[in-house]
Amino acid sequence: MPRSSRPSRPLLGAATLIALAATAAACGVQPAPTADPAGGPRHARAKNVVVLQGDGMGIAHRELVRLATKGQDEELAMDSLDVAGWVHTDPLDPEDTVTDSAASATAFATGVRTYNGAVGVDADGRALPTLLEQARRAGKATGLVTTSQVTDATPAAYGSHVPDRDDQSEIARQFIEETRPDVVLGGGEDRWLPPGEEGAWPDHPATDPTEESAGTQGNLIERAQELGYHYVSDAEGLAAARPRGRLLGLFANEEMFEHRNEGPDALYDPAVPLRDMASKALDVLSRDRDGFFLLVEEEGVDEMAHHNNAHLTIEAGAALDSTVQLVLDFAETHPDTLVVVVGDHETGGLAIENPDADDESGDGESTEDGPFTVAGTDLEFVVDWTTEQHTGAATPLTAQGPGADRLGRVQDSTDVHDAIAAAMLGRR
């Protein structure tokens, strides 16, 4: 966390301040926070905001990926940001203490806690303005990128308002007709097409014969194209896309991976890697002179942890970290970009143990995973699990860029929303 006290600075005259500001602007330098006449700091405004979420990612998940891919003496890209804190993710639910992804994402997106299953609405079902909608009203471009269905809980909470997260076709309709993100990339084509009407991703694929078109709002892909979206369905189409309008990409029937337990049926192999989707989104959105808001979600961490599959949790976490590095490289040349990396909740009760530790996990999917080798060493460790569900553990947050100083503390998920909104909209 950043230090709470800093040495005082000498006061400068108005002429000096104006000259310094002009010099900084000519050099493309982001101005630092200054004193506000009403008291307190005036925080620098973030022209661009990128929120990267590892669904289900707790501190142990980050450590698992670090040890397996970097070793004990190196850090993940997501751990290299300037500010670190952690987040309480409790829902406002009359029955559950532990949050689901919908309630958690709604709190991050709107600044209001709600019940499990709610998407973009409060506990009474009233629609709440989201960060994406606030960005759009401020003239910014907006985007949603995920390896889950694009209409799954997390992206849905930023771009729609429904009382039940399972109403995914209505979520898709709201995307294209109401909130209108400029970029929507991920899986979930089945929710955009009516039963019996196959798209680029055929019904009943060999990898999961249960998958088939199941939309309830007609052919929303055609509707999106009528409304000005350029539609792509594979990696080649995405790479070639140079849309003048909005961009919609659907790259799987459902999630962009097969989330089963150990064995050949469990795959983390997205048809389009998360990093490539994020790269295209940055390319499209950064053309907006007023900046942008972008949500990037790696769903694989959560789904693989639900199945207590540490091997594929590592793969999904490494894909997220590679994407974080991409965003940090972008921020290096666009210093007015706020970057936030966070988990919406913890999944699996993951524990990293020595190989000779007792296996408390049990049988079936919860059997202890490993051993794994610490990268660059002969050391080994195993992964133990306490559950196949979410837990109430706080999640780590790292951030850098304008407004990141507000996030280096213990906070609620709603506080994260408030800090991002303040930085993006120039509020105190």
Determine phi and psi for 12, rounding to 5 degrees: -115, 150
**Pairwise CA distance, residues 144 & 158, whole Å:** 8
pLDDT > 90: percent of the chain: 82
Number of neighbouring beta carbons within 10 Å of residue 362: 12
Least confident span in 11-20, 223-232, 388-397: 11-20
Given the structure tokens 């958690």, which residue do they identify?
A: 104
Contact status, residue 254 vs residue 208, Cβ threshold 8 Å: yes
Contact status, residue 221 vs residue 151, Cβ threshold 8 Å: no
Q: Which amino acids are annotated catalytic?
A: 101
What sign for the dihedral angle of Cα 194, 195, 198, 204?
positive
Residue 20 has pLDDT above 70, yes or no: no
Residue ranges and CATH numbers for the domains of the chain are 44-344+390-425 (3.40.720.10)
Amino acid at site 166: D
Tokens representing 416 are: 């994260």
Residue 134 has pLDDT above 60, yes or no: yes
pLDDT value, residue 262: 66
Given the structure tokens 């670190």, which residue do they identify?
A: 84
Residue 1 has pLDDT above 60, yes or no: no
**Taking the mean position of all CA atoms in its chain, how far away is CA 135?**
16
pLDDT value, residue 145: 98
Q: Per residue in 197-233, pLDDT tens?
A: 999 999 999 989 999 999 999 999 999 999 999 999 9
Q: Which of 57, 297, 275, 302 is nearest to 154 (CA)?
A: 297
Amino acid at site 234: D
**Pairwise CA distance, residues 157 & 101, whole Å:** 9
Q: Which of 71, 55, 43 is nearest to 296 (CA)?
A: 55
**Pairwise CA distance, residues 136 & 363, whole Å:** 49
Number of neighbouring beta carbons within 10 Å of residue 231: 20
Torsion angle, alpha carbons of 399, 93, 160, 344, to 10: 20
**Whole-model pTM?**
0.89
**Pairwise CA distance, residues 199 & 56, whole Å:** 30
Give the pLDDT band of residue 142 (cuts 50, 70, 90).
very high
Contact status, residue 390 vs residue 58, Cβ threshold 8 Å: no
What number of CA atoms fall less than 13 Å from residue 45's CA on the CB side?
10
